[in-house]
Structure 1
Amino acid sequence: MDSVGVSDVLVDIRDIGKCHRYYNRPQDRLLETLTRHRRQYHKEFWAIQGVSMQISRGEAVAIIGRNGAGKSTLLQIITGTMTPTSGTVTVRGKIAALLQLGSGFNPDFTGRENVFLNGAILGFSKQEIEARFAEIAAFAEIGDFIEQPVKNYSSGMTMRLAFAVSACLEPEMLIVDEALAVGDALFQRKCYARIEQYIERGGTLLFVSHSLETVRRICTRAYYLKEGMVRLAGRPPEVIAAYEHDLDISNRLLSTGDQAAAKPDVERFNDYGNRKATVVETWIETLGGERVESVSPPDPFRWCYTVDFNADVDRIVFGMRMVNVEGQVIYATNSLILDKSTFKVTAGARRTACFSIPTGALPPGDYFFSAGVSERVEGDDHFLHRRTDVGFLRVYANVAPTYYGMVNLRAELSIE
């Protein structure tokens, strides 16, 4: 990002850290003050440490990570509600943040009054807010409640108004932290559509979410926070792959306590597992058995892979995933979903799984396939071996397209 001009960088974070002090007893804080800190009564916890990032104008940047990874602390530092212990933060322009429902709202003020209050906090003039007020009220869809005190609102109404203020005033940067989770499906879709329009018009987005598919779809860069530090930064598909890899390792460690199982033989994000099994070969074939890398609708195909088992395993599940170039999941399934059963194997066994897939619903394009074999333990799947994006298929259009979009629903038209 060295080529980016200073004026284009809205957030510039350099090696920031945030340390919290914890005291076992309330009086320990006083004792430490009285001794003029010659004796330490507290314990330190670094919520984030050594974090650096830049967010430039027009970017859509995601921050992902498990609960407790430091995401909320980082956002509070960016928005100025928390001061870092170390490092520097430079923020330019008008930034609107949806961090907590109703944060910045005065519960005794009406919705209308809070619109002007929040707009002023964001740096907008009264005239600018008045010009957008009708749009804000219409987007929030809370009707006459706009004239009632916010303390009488439901959580959903509060979220609607908070998002409407932040989105409709169109600040230079919008920060969204899972705030849309409480809305109903229709309003969530309305919010995401507004975010997409905001990005298309050149707005800057900082998006914190556990919805990895949304991150893949709308973000251009991503940061993965782990234990308060940046584990990986880059394109969303690679960063998400690292996060999913660590999630699988952590879940297996928590459920089994097996430290060895938490360390795969191959430390690559697209190739991991405890190696009780090995995916040794993958391929795509026609129903006649011919191996191919391209098909034309309506010809179906099969995604196949062979697995060698290195240990006795009682409840095996074979799975697959198909994504497009942007990383959006087009289709994913497994043997447990399809036939409601698992498989038992012994060490030395070899099995081949083939998923037959029709092409009639697929638009032309390039697709990537993942293969995985897991063990079902107390309702959770633990990967024995998983290989992501190891298969490639190009779907050609053999006739002029009759639709747009991700799938062909084969609509029929009647005009009367």
Structure 2
Amino acid sequence: MTVDVLWSLVVPSTRSGAMLEQDLYLLWPGEVNGEAGGGPPDPALARYVRERGLTPVREGRLHLYARGLYGTRGARAAEPIAGGAPFVTFVQEGGPLGVTPRVTYVRIPWHPRMINRTWLMGLRMELTGLLKPVPATWVERLFWGRRHTLTLSYNEVRGRGIFPMYFEHRERLLRLADEPSQLLAVFAQAEQLKIHDVFPRTASRRAAEARVATEIVSLFLDHAEGLVPQVLTVQFGYYSRLQAWAPVLITALVFALGNMAGPLLVTLARHLGPKLAGRFHVGPRAGPPRERQVGTIVPRDVLERLVPGQTTYEDVLRLCGVDAEEHEQFGRPEHRRLVYRGRRTAPQRRRRFGWVSTVDRWEVEHHEVEITLERDVVSDVQAHVRRSRLAQPEPG
């Protein structure tokens, strides 16, 4: 990733530009990649950090250039400065928290165009660790692509690696001028760009005027903030053409799978549901197993209240219920039979896991009561009970 630092110096009206001729130094909170063929490193920088107990890990030179604000036809947009800007990347070892993050110390040689108001000085750095991936599941990466977080800051000196060097030179720190200063993040291929979040909310987002398919997120720096860190954070991602169609494709896929899975689930539930219900029982541990009853089962004490020769048809319906089969013989309207049938099924539990228990077998009782009436008066009562054991309860 390429980062350009552009600046110019504002000379007070009470001072001469010749009095400011000195090198500038930049502290960058991270590691940078030098320019290929930019020249040998500056050994004085490495010696400088070693004298302070720091360990150099990388040296080189960065691309330094000047850019005219009012370019004429045929003039170059950027004029390289010979020799570039030497740098050294260092860490601090042996601290209580271990090795510090890497910090880069850059020496920017003095150039007269630093104080020329019609020119901007530029320092170009190639960075590898500026983008941080956003944690996401494989489903999110599949449909929405990879997301990254870009963080640019000014006056952020709270890191363990950068703070000692800043504290030593805090009296020589260059302040922001009254002229506008800003942090800019330029994104190419804007047609495939998705910006999820921007912080702070005062940052602006706009399309580039001179570049096609380019989007810019910017934050103006407030010089009145002093040494307060000012940070611009952008969470973004790039999606492919297939991922752009993801909402439509997902909706169509869900619709198709719903139509296909509906009959399949109904069939599975119809076949597997009774089998699972016959093998597992849900109920409290202390209470008796929950029985299943189908039809009408006439209790024994009710049968004892049916007295032949006394109990009437209305009494039978009142005591036993109206859910009975009624049989009449052709040619004998005064003779009828009421038949009550019912089935009681009770599980025999084996192993328990809380409220869920496995079922070893099912105890089944078939009850059948036949009541014979002559001229709407009970003449005979017959009760039959058949008991059996089943591995699966009967349906119904």
Query: Structure 1 or 2: larger strand share?
Result: 2
Task: State TM-score, norm by structure 1.
Answer: 0.20
For normalisation by structure 2, the TM-score amounts to 0.21
User: Could you say which structure has the larger radius of gyration?
Assistant: 2
- The structure that is helix-richer by fraction is 1
Choose between structure 1 and 2 for higher RCO, CA contacts under 8 A separated by at least 6 residues. 1
